[in-house]
Amino acid sequence: MSGCAELVRIAVIGDCPIFRHGISQLIGTAPDLHLVAAVASIESADGSLRDAEVVLMDLQQSAPTLAATVTKLRSRGHAVLVVSSSPQLNAVQVIQAGASGYLSRQVGGEELLTAIRAVGAGDGYVSAPASHLLKRSHRFTDREQEILCLLANGSTDHEIAAALGISKHTVQSHLDRIGEKTGSRRRPDLTRIAVENGLTG
């Protein structure tokens, strides 16, 4: 590999033309980011989203519709970063639907670029107000937080059990309860949730 980092390819989907233009201009100032499309909806994108690694989305949709849109984009292999001025409860639903990040429309340009880079690198990013809500919504116990932290750092169930001095069966019972709280038992999803909850120290 050369010393040059690869460009992160981004598509912007937003039903507000001013938003699309502003974000496109902002992305254009970052030499490590490349805009491949700026469209009003998935339907209007045709094949222009195909090359995007990250889809930055700001659509005025109901929470269930927004979550379904996120799921559709994830199924096509895109990492999704949702921007919204709607009530922060949407953060929980879009993260559970598979979004890698959630931002309030109130964030500044630098934070938005930071979030795009984080999501493009395979990490998660949630702006502070939504992050606090995610923690409250899941209400993980101390033990569940320990397990999520170890899981997010790549530990197997056996390694988690050894690190915490508990049985593998107990680890799996905790993971089942975490799954009930988060709506997923898949490791990639739980790893993302651990990141969003600041449990990856």
| DSSP notation for 6-32 | PPEEEEEEES-HHHHHHHHHHHHT-TT
pLDDT of residue 104: 81
- Which domains occur in the chain, in start order? 8-134 (3.40.50.2300), 139-196 (1.10.10.10)
pLDDT per position as a tens digit, 7-20: 899 999 999 999 99
pLDDT of residue 86: 64
φ, ψ of residue 46 in degrees (nearest 5): 55, -125
Between CA 1 and CA 173 the distance in angstroms is: 42
pLDDT per position as a tens digit, 30-80: 999 999 999 998 887 768 888 899 999 998 888 788 889 999 999 999 999
Which residue do the tokens 């040059």 mark? 4
pLDDT of residue 142: 85
> Where on the phi/psi map is residue 62: left (φ > 0), alpha (ψ -120 to 50), or beta?
beta
| DSSP notation for 127-169 | -HHHHHHHHHHH---HHHHHHHHHHHTT--HHHHHHHHTS-HH
Distance of CA 84 to the CA centre of its chain: 13
